[in-house]
Amino acid sequence: MAIKKILIVDDSPTERHFLGELLTKNGFQIMTLESGEEAVLKTKELMPDLILMDVVMPGMNGFQATRTISREEATKHIPIIMCTSKNQETDMVWAKRQGAVEYVVKPVDSQELLNKIANL
């Protein structure tokens, strides 16, 4: 599946801007949301090809949002890459158990992220 539309879910305006610039410069169409709740509510409407999901956010965290989106019939086909400062092996394992297909640690290495997207 060719990745064209990417949804960035992060409560940090700085991270949304950084990731948005990087992805736009590389030919992707981006959409941004600020919370896990928004992601769960709007993913069906937006139908992105990929979601970049932060973990630590107020309210519903990225693990919870990933679990909900990846188990919902209409959205379970959408790959989710966790994009977070949580760099422990247990976090990475937990993310995969919630439905994430990949895991990138902040600060994001641009080339690593682009490679992971290309390999989906």
Q: Residue 65 half-sphere exposure, CB side, CA atoms within 13 Å?
A: 32
19 in helix, strand or coil? helix
Instruction: Give the model's pLDDT for residue 1.
Output: 63
Instruction: Give the model's pLDDT for residue 6.
Output: 98
Domain at 5-119, CATH homologous superfamily: Response regulator (3.40.50.2300)
> What's the N-to-C CA distance of the chain in angstroms?
8
pLDDT (tens digit per residue) in 27-66: 999 999 999 999 999 999 999 999 999 999 999 999 999 9
Q: To the nearest whole percent, how much of the chain has pLDDT over 90?
A: 96
Instruction: Give the model's pLDDT for residue 111.
Output: 97
Q: What gap in Å lies between CA 79 and CA 104, rounded to an integer?
A: 14
Global pTM value: 0.96
Q: Is the pLDDT of residue 2 over 90?
A: no
Q: Collect all residues with Cβ–Cβ distance below 8 Å to 30 and sequence separation of at least 6.
A: 5, 6, 7, 8, 19, 20, 23, 24
Residues in the chain: 120
